């Protein structure tokens, strides 16, 4: 069978074992048409070149590559970010942390995003609140390159640091420290489904809490008095993270739930003592 000239409908029908939603995403990317057009015009013909590209994308999806790595793009909090396999694909639940910052941050606050990856959190905040002076750091040089590129593309002015958490930061303090650190346990069976994403962005020791312990315990030297620390954590880590905040002298500790009603972000105030 010559494939040239087959319709969208026929190509979808031949590949139905992949979900219709995913098929529409790659059809939209390869044809340059919107998803609505793809759905509304199933009789449109595909060229041979388009079919080759569609089949390549399909193979990548079937091998577990997230669509964001195939398209090279991900929408987060209303901004479009470039992503590659050097960075975690920004997740919708991380938007909760951004919303908390936007509610909490006083005018002209200073903020540092630790482990910025694609720059998702830092850039979303900078785009919503031009008054906030945003800095961002990561240990991964290739992640920092992506974050800097995203800042340029979005025309946002951030300060970037290459640092192993606090180790190479300048000697200064911020009003808000925020982080979505790696928090998956090294033995978590869910890691199989995440094998295309950088492991250093995902796991953090046996209980998944090593990075959170380091970020909380090291925060005092980098937070202004009455400054706040906000950290995203795993669905089953709320109690443990709350204890880490308490033993490190944080006050007014609060948790925020995700859209499924699970506590996912911890907030604490540093009394400066």
Secondary structure letter of residue 203 according to DSSP: B
Give the residue with the Cβ less far from ligand SAM, 23 or 88: 88
Residue 128 sits in the site that holds ligand SAM (CB under 6 A): no
Q: What is the closest distance, in whole angstroms, from the C-beta atom of residue 213 to ligand SAM in the complex?
A: 12
For residues 269 and 230, the answer to whether their CB atoms sit within 8 Å is no
Contact with ligand SAM (CB under 6 A) among 110, 140, 185, 203: 140
Distance CA 118, CA 76 (A): 10
- Residues facing 113 on adjacent strands: 136, 178
Q: Which stretch binds ligand SAM (CB under 6 A): 6-14, 136-144, 242-250, 253-261?
A: 136-144
Residue 219 sits in the site that holds ligand SAM (CB under 6 A): no
Q: What is the closest distance, in whole angstroms, from the C-beta atom of residue 215 to ligand SAM in the complex?
A: 9
From 5, 4, 40, select the one nearest 24 (Cα to Cα).
40
Distance CA 199, CA 218 (A): 23
Torsion of CA 184, 124, 93, 263, to 10 degrees: 80
Residue 180 sits in the site that holds ligand SAM (CB under 6 A): yes
Distance CA 48, CA 10 (A): 14
Residue 185 sits in the site that holds ligand SAM (CB under 6 A): no
Contact with ligand SAM (CB under 6 A) among 57, 82, 95, 138: 138
Distance CA 235, CA 256 (A): 11
Give the residue with the Cβ less far from ligand SAM, 94 or 110: 94
- Binding residues for ligand SAM, rule: CB under 6 A, are 87-88, 90, 94, 115-118, 120-121, 138-140, 143, 164-165, 180-182, 200-201, 211
């Amino acid at each position: 069978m010559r494939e040239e000239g087959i319709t969208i409908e026929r190509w979808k029908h031949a590949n139905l074992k992949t979900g219709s939603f995913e098929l529409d995403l790659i059809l939209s990317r390869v044809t340059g048409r919107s998803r609505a057009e793809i759905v509304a015009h199933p009789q449109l013909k595909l060229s041979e070149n388009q079919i080759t590209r569609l089949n390549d994308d399909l193979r990548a999806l079937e091998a577990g590559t997230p669509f964001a790595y195939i398209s090279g793009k991900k929408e987060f909090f209303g901004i479009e970010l470039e992503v590659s396999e050097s960075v975690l694909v920004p997740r919708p639940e991380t938007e909760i942390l951004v919303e908390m910052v936007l509610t909490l941050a006083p005018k002209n606050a200073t903020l540092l995003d630790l482990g910025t990856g694609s720059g998702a959190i830092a850039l979303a905040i900078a785009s919503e609140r031009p008054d906030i002076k945003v800095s961002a750091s990561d240990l991964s040089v290739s992640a920092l390159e992506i974050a800097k590129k995203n800042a340029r593309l979005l025309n946002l002015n951030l300060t970037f640091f290459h640092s192993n958490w606090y180790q190479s930061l300048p000697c200064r303090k911020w009003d808000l420290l925020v982080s979505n650190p790696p928090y998956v346990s090294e033995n978590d069976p869910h890691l199989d489904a995440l094998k295309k994403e950088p492991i250093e962005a995902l796991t953090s020791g046996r209980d998944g809490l090593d990075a959170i312990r380091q970020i909380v315990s090291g925060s005092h030297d980098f937070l202004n008095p009455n400054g706040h620390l906000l950290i995203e954590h795993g669905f089953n880590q709320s109690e443990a993270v709350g204890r880490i905040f308490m033993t490190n002298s944080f006050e007014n500790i609060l948790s925020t739930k995700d859209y499924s009603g699970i506590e996912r972000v911890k907030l604490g105030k540093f009394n400066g003592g």
